[in-house]
Structure 1
């Protein structure tokens, strides 16, 4: 059976695929030889998992409109939501929730409702004003994140000297790295794991408010320190603002946005984080020439560090103008408040009722799944389909750091100084990198769903490696005789690296991790993914100064250039494509045994050379339509008797 085909049904109504599973086992070495020693309990558990996943994919699939109207009205009356007009909205909303795009098949909608529903998909950015305030809020939160990360880039040119850690000895290099990495240490060991309790206690808006308060206080605090250890404490505290916010804002965006713009809105987190990174460089450049005043030593770097509090203050001032997440209200059994909140974010009651009722059915399905599966953390590792998704997610999150991008984001000013830029030119060149990082993140909104996640990474990893090698080797150009050439080559290498990073390894990791896991373990998978991201961010930040001293600047760049080559092969072997696939199709994709996918990846190398270099006509291999892979899938190959992937 091809991987992109649905199982056919027999006369009893059961899928023929399930019938094969129940009655036949295939030998791993010869798929045509049946065996009878099948572990039926494993097969039953696997079927239950897949049935649960299908239910989570759409709990309302296959139900008649008459039954849906009855269910919608019953829900509204049970939770005492509104009057008869609201009950009618839930009757029609339940039918719309089954498939929002088929609004024209729902009987009884008014002409105004039909017009709004049509416009929702034909002109998806036609949204109420309050929805745009939510979009601005999420974008500003992302900018807070980016600015928190990069104001230190320019400030460290000054405070290292003031704190006595500006030398090239091991103490100075390790302390410089420790100060840069302090927020990410906090994120990985504490901050990210506070996301769930903060959200449970304070809600989405409350968590955003609280984390922005942490960010603002920490940034202000950083402007008043006078020792390295005091700076470390202030920056460690900043991690309590960065960690929970990085997980909560995308969740809030997803839970408040309509289906037509949900993916685009969640994806913009990375783009506006890049904008915040650029703002950090702008701040460094703007306050560079501020002189010391009234006995205040280092007034310029103090203002740089404190300036990152400004976007956080903006969020603090208007976060409560936005409604709370309807899903959060529903998780607290406050269904009328959920509906009331959703009404603020939609034009028509029927739209609000549609989205609220679908949230309710998903929550009910999730409760059933939790009772079925037990401990999600165990399921994350125990179930091969989940384990493969975890492997792929961890690869892209790890490589987002070890591709070397944050070496440039956090240390670009020092790198440019080492290339013999003047201090003001170094800050200006850093701003250029931030601008490139933001501008070239915009095309990813389109390419990530057309060119594909895997193809973007396979294309950009080799290019990132080439440009890092180019940047590192540019430091060998003689500074005395060819100063201009050296400066130009270092800047060019870094800018070209930013151009290929921004649409590839920049947005792909969060998007990929958010969709790779089944819904019943997705929050746990994302928690692990974000913790991995911040931990290796900490590792990269703390080690770069010492790495640069030990390997020299060319060697340090070569180190990360080599990791990009490794990243290419990790993606080639272990990362399935997830573009434009339903949850059911993703289950099929991640059910391909790892050894089969790795072999398929290796076979793609000669295909590439024959097709694109030798210009030979050859058809690409389609793994998920391959009979061998299909048979493995059909028989529940996930349950490898050897316990492998």
Structure 2
């Protein structure tokens, strides 16, 4: 490591970064706010805490639960130190111990809520993938046959319409919708729009009518994608919160698989008299059925306690959280903590332009850049090209239509199955390491798929290699760039701008989803399949470089450590990673011995020279 780089690392660890310049005071204020949000009860004397809990219960119509809230506040101040709280009886301690040792022993109401959220994710996946099989039929029926270049753009526009709506409008209206209608209300409305739009697009007879129906579908996809993970997080106990939020991506992958199953199920449906294309109409309409089930069930689940408190409905908030917890002490602990957290948030956010601070404060800007990169690359890695157009791709590889749909089902199944290991690997291997390992593999497998089209048309080898390349690509994507973007974006932003940060991140995701959807039909024709797959292979190589230089690790870091990580100037982080990459290739791939360890970049990793980085070019 050069002396200049080592001096830069030491300089950062001493918090004398010249990158703070005139924003330094604001940055320090924001860091203090973030720490306060991490635990607003920390440092409050016992007697003051008990008095505050008593006043809370009496002021908000919960005086009959005063003792529960007094004990709950003591536990909330340090949830892992409940054994030392003398006010608790043994039965309450048993409940709190079991919460840690049997994480999945939860009330049935919570599991019903989990099923609802998982089904919402599956609807999301179906909304995205049912178009895949329909693409084999509806362009000809709606007057946009794919022999003409203008029609290829129109097909991309129709397919990408929901994501255009999401990126420009849908994700941004989720905040006012949640404010006025609550989490359940937003989910109900978005599910209704999904149901109605799915039926609507199955009834269209022109491409522009299909475009309108699918654009409206975006109002069902966007708010739902921004609300359901938040709803799950706000209703879940801390011990299983991360796993439940992770399920969004996993069950979205399951829904993508269901969409391909629907395409297969309706493929051979004949046209009755007076109806053209009943099979693709049923494919598109099928995604509305589970959305209808969500509509009928969402109000049987409790509303988010956090939202109810924000509206001053504390009695209803307690009823809701009591349905989701096994005991009064757990409900009182969590409700009181939500209350004080909201009070701190109101105090911090008064009079501030949080959207502006996301880009003007260096720490926040680096988090926005990193989140934008992973959201952008989830689209430009090429996964949704396959999700939306795999049937067309397989058809160009000389699959029959039914073979193309069967092969597409294989893609959907692998996408779901290989997302399951991510529940474990994302918190052990790390977000950054998963991406650095899988992006080169995805690039390689897309190149393999593209070059397979040079195999003669009449050879069964072409079919086999194209399918194998796409399947290997999917197996690399699912545990890496599949689950990481949402998880990373939820962690990277400071708590005080996390909501608006996630709106920005999801808007980036859906806008570039639209770009991919609208451009690929024309790209496939102009570049040929080999060039099109080579294009996205190139983007995966670019993605590796972007992640190497601009993406710090966030796994298992406290809020203070995250502030430190994202406060490192970008040039210092990038210079360090360029040094770490060849070092880790030699150490972990070529297994060279006796290499001099690199000094760590962050203070929380230990003293200079005591700890090395993980492979390859990873670390923080």
- The two structures have a TM-score, normalised by structure 1, of 0.90
Residue aligned with 2:173, SS: helix
How far is the alpha carbon of 1:32 from its aligned partner?
13
Query: Does 2:391 match 1:410?
Result: no
Q: Which residue of structure 1 aligns with residue 98 of structure 2? A: 119
Assess, with a 3 A threshold, how the Cα gap between structure 1 residues 67 and 30 changes in structure 2: closer, same or farther.
closer
Structure 1 segment 331-410 matched on structure 2, within 5 A? 331-371=310-350, 374-410=352-388
Query: Does 2:526 match 1:545?
Result: no
Q: Assess if the C-alpha contact under 8 Å between 1:31 and 1:631 holds in 2.
A: no
Q: Which residue of structure 2 aligns with residue 641 of structure 1? A: none
Assess, with a 3 A threshold, how the Cα gap between structure 1 residues 178 and 115 changes in structure 2: closer, same or farther.
same
Assess, with a 3 A threshold, how the Cα gap between structure 1 residues 622 and 352 changes in structure 2: closer, same or farther.
farther
Q: Pick one of 452, 459, 465 that aligns with 1:474.
A: 452
Query: Does 2:23 match 1:47?
Result: no
CA distance in 2, matches of 1:101, 1:285: 51
Q: Assess if the C-alpha contact under 8 Å between 1:204 and 1:252 holds in 2.
A: yes
Residue aligned with 2:196, SS: helix
Q: Which residue of structure 2 aligns with residue 21 of structure 1? A: none
How far is the alpha carbon of 1:164 from its aligned partner?
2.3
Q: Which residue of structure 1 aligns with residue 555 of structure 2? A: 579
Q: Which residue of structure 1 aligns with residue 402 of structure 2? A: 424
Q: Assess if the C-alpha contact under 8 Å between 2:166 and 2:218 holds in 1.
A: yes
CA distance in 1, matches of 2:393, 2:400: 11
Q: Which residue of structure 2 aligns with residue 229 of structure 1? A: 208
Q: Which residue of structure 1 aligns with residue 68 of structure 2? A: 89
Q: Assess if the C-alpha contact under 8 Å between 1:600 and 1:623 holds in 2.
A: no
Q: Which residues of structure 1 form unaligned runs of 5+?
A: 1-25, 633-645
Q: Which residues of structure 2 form unaligned runs of 5+?
A: 1-6, 609-620
How far is the alpha carbon of 1:612 from its aligned partner?
2.7
Q: Which residue of structure 1 aligns with residue 461 of structure 2? A: 485
Q: Which residue of structure 1 aligns with residue 149 of structure 2? A: 170
CA distance in 2, matches of 1:459, 1:32: 28
How far is the alpha carbon of 1:623 from its aligned partner?
6.0
How far is the alpha carbon of 1:608 from its aligned partner?
2.3
Residue aligned with 1:450, SS: coil
Query: Does 2:442 match 1:461?
Result: no
CA distance in 2, matches of 1:39, 1:464: 37
How far is the alpha carbon of 1:166 from its aligned partner?
2.0
CA distance in 1, matches of 2:436, 2:315: 48
Q: Assess if the C-alpha contact under 8 Å between 2:370 and 2:551 holds in 1.
A: yes
Q: Assess if the C-alpha contact under 8 Å between 1:397 and 1:529 holds in 2.
A: yes
Q: Which residue of structure 2 aligns with residue 515 of structure 1? A: 491
Q: Which residue of structure 2 aligns with residue 10 of structure 1? A: none
Query: Does 2:193 match 1:214?
Result: yes
Query: Does 2:48 match 1:70?
Result: no
CA distance in 2, matches of 1:72, 1:620: 55
Q: Which residue of structure 1 aligns with residue 577 of structure 2? A: 601
CA distance in 2, matches of 1:216, 1:514: 28
Q: Assess if the C-alpha contact under 8 Å between 1:185 and 1:538 holds in 2.
A: yes
Q: Which moved more, 1:358-367 or 1:493-502?
A: 358-367
Assess, with a 3 A threshold, how the Cα gap between structure 1 residues 476 and 522 changes in structure 2: closer, same or farther.
same
Q: Which moved more, 1:618-627 or 1:604-613?
A: 618-627
CA distance in 2, matches of 1:254, 1:278: 25
Residue aligned with 2:71, SS: helix
How far is the alpha carbon of 1:110 from its aligned partner?
2.5
Q: Assess if the C-alpha contact under 8 Å between 2:233 and 2:244 holds in 1.
A: yes
Residue aligned with 1:449, SS: coil
Assess, with a 3 A threshold, how the Cα gap between structure 1 residues 193 and 45 changes in structure 2: closer, same or farther.
closer
CA distance in 1, matches of 2:599, 2:552: 10
CA distance in 2, matches of 1:104, 1:558: 59
Residue aligned with 1:108, SS: coil
Q: Assess if the C-alpha contact under 8 Å between 1:589 and 1:624 holds in 2.
A: no
Residue aligned with 1:475, SS: helix
Aligned length: 601
Q: Which residue of structure 1 aligns with residue 611 of structure 2? A: none
CA distance in 2, matches of 1:537, 1:466: 22
CA distance in 2, matches of 1:327, 1:470: 49
Assess, with a 3 A threshold, how the Cα gap between structure 1 residues 426 and 205 changes in structure 2: closer, same or farther.
same
Query: Does 2:419 match 1:441?
Result: yes
Cα shift readout 1:471-497 (whole Å, capped 9, x = no counterpart): 0100110112xx211100000000000
How far is the alpha carbon of 1:173 from its aligned partner?
0.5
CA distance in 2, matches of 1:496, 1:404: 13
Query: Does 2:167 match 1:195?
Result: no
Q: Pick one of 299, 302, 308 that aligns with 1:329.
A: 308
Query: Does 2:86 match 1:107?
Result: yes
Q: Which residue of structure 2 aligns with residue 246 of structure 1? A: 225
Q: Assess if the C-alpha contact under 8 Å between 1:151 and 1:281 holds in 2.
A: yes
Q: Which moved more, 1:62-71 or 1:544-553?
A: 62-71
Q: Which moved more, 1:334-343 or 1:432-441?
A: 334-343
How far is the alpha carbon of 1:28 from its aligned partner?
11
Assess, with a 3 A threshold, how the Cα gap between structure 1 residues 47 and 220 changes in structure 2: closer, same or farther.
same
Assess, with a 3 A threshold, how the Cα gap between structure 1 residues 33 and 291 changes in structure 2: closer, same or farther.
closer
Cα shift readout 1:575-624 (whole Å, capped 9, x = no counterpart): 00000001111000001110111011111221123213432225686665
Assess, with a 3 A threshold, how the Cα gap between structure 1 residues 160 and 119 changes in structure 2: closer, same or farther.
same
CA distance in 2, matches of 1:33, 1:153: 54
Runs of 4+ in 1 over 4 A off after TM superposition: 26-35, 37-43, 618-632
Assess, with a 3 A threshold, how the Cα gap between structure 1 residues 498 and 618 changes in structure 2: closer, same or farther.
farther
Cα shift readout 1:308-345 (whole Å, capped 9, x = no counterpart): 00110110111000000000011111122111111111
CA distance in 2, matches of 1:320, 1:31: 51
Assess, with a 3 A threshold, how the Cα gap between structure 1 residues 569 and 34 changes in structure 2: closer, same or farther.
closer
Q: Assess if the C-alpha contact under 8 Å between 1:281 and 1:434 holds in 2.
A: yes
Q: Which residue of structure 1 aligns with residue 239 of structure 2? A: 260
Residue aligned with 2:137, SS: helix
Q: Which moved more, 1:596-605 or 1:64-73?
A: 64-73
CA distance in 2, matches of 1:31, 1:583: 17
How far is the alpha carbon of 1:41 from its aligned partner?
7.6
Query: Does 2:249 match 1:273?
Result: no
CA distance in 1, matches of 2:332, 2:495: 23
CA distance in 2, matches of 1:621, 1:293: 73
How far is the alpha carbon of 1:64 from its aligned partner?
3.4
Q: Assess if the C-alpha contact under 8 Å between 1:607 and 1:620 holds in 2.
A: no
Q: Which residue of structure 2 aligns with residue 452 of structure 1? A: 430
